[in-house]
Structure 1
Amino acid sequence: MHGTGVADALAGTVPEGLVPVLRALTALGDPVLFLVAAPVLYWLGPRYDLLSPDRAARLLGVVVGGLALVVALKTLFGVHRPPASVSLVHADGYGFPSGHATGATVFYGALAALLTVGRRRTRYAAAAVVVAVIAVTRLALGVHYLADVLAGVVAGGLYIALALELSRSRTGNAFAIALGVASAAVVLAWTMEAVTVFGAAAGGTVGWQVARHRANRLQNVSPSSVLALAPLLAVGGLPLAIALPLPVATAAGIVLGFGVVWVPTRL
C-alpha cells in the first residue's frame, strides 16, 4: 500500500547526531504531552485570561476525543509501520494514520482556534508550523510513511472542525462527541488504551454536567492548586504504565475525566 518511499529516503540521510534533536521535536506530538497540557490549560487558562471557562472545557473535550480518534482509526485500518531497517527509533502499534500528526493537529489546531490572546492568523500559522515540524520528524525518524502523516493531519483537521462547530453553542457537546468517538474505539479495539480514553470521555461528560454551573470559578483557581492534578493524572496514566484488568482501566479513566473537570470548580 505505502512502499517505503519518503520515509526511507529521509531516514537514510539523517546524521546520527541529529537523531536526539528529532526525538525532542517529535515529543511535541506525544499523546502524553496532550494528556497533561489540556488539563493544565483547563485549570489555569481562565485564571490567566488565555481561555474563557467554556473554551477551556471545549479544548479539554476536543483533545480527549482526538486521542480516542487515534485509537479508533489505527485499529480500523490496521496498517503496519515502515520496516525496522528504516526506523531510527522504536515505535509500537499500527502506523496509519500517524497518532502524532493526528493528535498534534487536534491539540494545536484547537488551541489556535480557542485561545483568546494574540491574533487568530498568527495562532493558526504557529500551529501549522508545529504540526508540520512534528510530521517531518515522524518521516525522518522512519516510523511513518508520508500517507500516514498526511492522513493524520486531514483526520485531525476534520475532527476539530466538526467538534468545535458542534460545541460552539453548547460546551458539553465537546465531551459528548468525545464519548461517541471513544465508544467507537472500544467497539473496534477492546484494549487498555481504548477503555481508558473511553472512561476519561465518560467521566469528563458527567463531570461537566455537574460542574458547568460553577465553571466561572475556574477564573479564581490558585496556581498552586494545579498540584492536585498530579494524583488524577497518576490514576489515569496507571493503565498505560502497567497491565490492569480492562474494567479497572475504565474506572481509572472515569476518575481522571471526572476529577479533572470537576475538582477545580470546587477548590
Structure 2
Amino acid sequence: MTGPPTVVTAASPSLPLSLAARGLGELDAAASLPDAVVTLFSVLTYLGNPWVCLFAVCLAYVVGPRAGIARPSAAFVLALGLGAVGLTLGLKAAFALPRPPGAAETGYGFPSGHALGTTVFWGGAALLAHAGRRRVRLGVAAAVVAVVALSRVVIGVHYLADVVAGVAVGALFATAAVAAGPGLRRPSPPSTRAVVACFLAGGVLSAAAAAANPVEREVLLAVGTAAGGAATWASLGDTLSARSTGGAVSLSPRSLVVGALAVPVPLAAMAAVAELPVRSLALAGAGAVGGAALLSLPVAAATLLE
C-alpha cells in the first residue's frame, strides 16, 4: 500500500539530477553485507508491511483492553494508518523521485512508505496504549521503526534520505494527530468524535492522493475504508468503546476468539479486491464494507455468541 505501480526509471525533469540520485554511498555499503544479513533484513522489513500493521492493530482492536490498548485508541491508530497511506502516496506523487537503480520494487521512492507507515502505526500505538511504561513502549516502537527503516536501505529499495524523510513525516503526523485528539500528556482513550474526525482526515488525505494519482488502486481502497470506519464509529462508537466488563459489549473468551479469528477475513477480501481489474467505485465500496466489518466485529461476536 505504499507506492504507485508505475516503474520510474528517470528523474523528474523539474528536479535536479543530484536530488533524484540522493545517494550517499549507503547502497554500496549495503551491497557489501553478507547474504545472511540481507536475508534477515528482508524478513524484518515485513514489520512495516501495511497489511501486517493493519492486521496487528485490528486484532488489538477486537481483543480490546486485554491487548493493552483501549478499543477507541486502537480504532484511532487504524485511522492514523489510513491517513499515512494517503500521505505517503500523495508525497510520492508530488516529488516523483525514483527508487535506486535495480530496486526490486516498483514505484516512486521518496519518501519511504514503510518508514512513514511504521512510524505512524507503531508510534501511534505506543503513545495511546496503556500497558507498561510509556517510555518503554516508545523505546520499542523506535527500535522497530529503526529496524524497518534500515531494512529498506539494506535490501536496496530506498536511499537513506527516503527513510529519514519517511520517519520524520510519520512522526510529525502521528504526534500532531494524537495532540489534536486524545492529547499527548497522559492521553485517555479518544472520544467518539475524535475517532470519527481521524477517519475523516485519513479519507481526505487518501482522496487527495487518489486525485494526484488516480491509477493507484490501494489508495482508493483506503478512501472507502476511511469512509466506512467513520460511519461505523459514528453509529456504534459509544457501544464499541465499552470495556469488556460492565459495559454495553461484554465479550466472553469464546466471542473474543471468534472475533479475533474473523479479523483476517475482511482484510483478505480487501487485499484480493485490490488486485482485481475493477473500477475505482468498486474499490472504494470494498474498502467501506471492509472497514465497517472490521470495526463491527466486537458487536457481531457479542451478538452471535453471547
- TM exceeds 0.5? yes
Residues 163 and 177, structure 1, Cα contact 8 Å, conserved in 2: no
Residues 10 and 142, structure 1, Cα contact 8 Å, conserved in 2: no
- Provide, for residues 208-260 of structure 1, a one-character-per-residue CA deviation record: whole Å limited to 9, x for no partner: 11111211456325122222223211221123333322221111111111111
Residues 85 and 219, structure 2, Cα contact 8 Å, conserved in 1: no
* Structure 1 residues 150-165: aligned runs within 5 Å: 150-165=164-179
Residues 84 and 202, structure 2, Cα contact 8 Å, conserved in 1: yes
Q: Provide the rounded CA distance (Å) in 1 between the counterparts of 2:50 and 2:87.
A: 12
Higher normalized helix content (fraction of residues) = 1
Q: Are 2:46 and 1:27 aligned?
A: yes
Name the larger-Rg structure.
2
Q: Provide the rounded CA distance (Å) in 1 between the counterparts of 2:120 and 2:22.
A: 27
Q: Residue 33 of structure 2 aligns with which residue?
A: 14
Q: Provide the rounded CA distance (Å) in 2 between the counterparts of 1:82 and 1:139.
A: 10
Gaps of 5+ in 2: 1-18, 183-190, 245-250, 302-306
- The Cα RMSD (Å) is 1.7
Q: Provide the rounded CA distance (Å) in 1 between the counterparts of 2:275 and 2:243.
A: 30
C-alpha deviation, 1:98, in angstroms: 0.3
Identify which range, 104-113 or 210-219, moves more after superposition. 210-219
Compared CA separation, residues 218 and 227, structure 1 to 2 (3 A)? farther
- Provide, for residues 193-215 of structure 1, a one-character-per-residue CA deviation record: whole Å limited to 9, x for no partner: 12111111111111111111211
Residues 45 and 51, structure 1, Cα contact 8 Å, conserved in 2: yes
Quick one: higher RCO (CA 8 Å, sep 6+), 1 or 2?
1
Q: Provide the rounded CA distance (Å) in 1 between the counterparts of 2:238 and 2:31.
A: 55
Q: Provide the rounded CA distance (Å) in 2 between the counterparts of 1:83 and 1:21.
A: 22
Matching residue's letter, 2:25: V
* Structure 1 residues 1-267: aligned runs within 5 Å: 1=19, 2-46=21-65, 48=66, 50-84=68-102, 87=103, 90-168=104-182, 170-190=194-214, 191-217=216-242, 219=244, 220=251, 222-267=256-301
- Provide, for residues 93-133 of structure 1, a one-character-per-residue CA deviation record: whole Å limited to 9, x for no partner: 11100011001100110011011111111111111111111
- Per the normalisation by structure 1, the TM-score is 0.92
Q: Residue 5 of structure 2 aligns with which residue?
A: none
Identify which range, 95-104 or 15-24, moves more after superposition. 15-24
Runs of 4+ in 1 over 6 A off after TM superposition: none
Q: Provide the rounded CA distance (Å) in 2 between the counterparts of 1:224 and 1:262.
A: 13
Q: Provide the rounded CA distance (Å) in 2 between the counterparts of 1:6 and 1:133.
A: 19
- Provide, for residues 115-169 of structure 1, a one-character-per-residue CA deviation record: whole Å limited to 9, x for no partner: 1111111111111111111111111111111110011001101110121122225
Q: Provide the rounded CA distance (Å) in 2 between the counterparts of 1:76 and 1:133.
A: 27
How many percent of aligned residue pairs carry the same amino acid?
33
Q: Provide the rounded CA distance (Å) in 2 between the counterparts of 1:257 and 1:7.
A: 39
Identify which range, 33-42 or 109-118, moves more after superposition. 33-42
Q: Provide the rounded CA distance (Å) in 2 between the counterparts of 1:116 and 1:167.
A: 16
Residues 62 and 178, structure 1, Cα contact 8 Å, conserved in 2: yes
Residues 42 and 56, structure 1, Cα contact 8 Å, conserved in 2: yes
C-alpha deviation, 1:60, in angstroms: 1.6
Matching residue's letter, 1:265: V
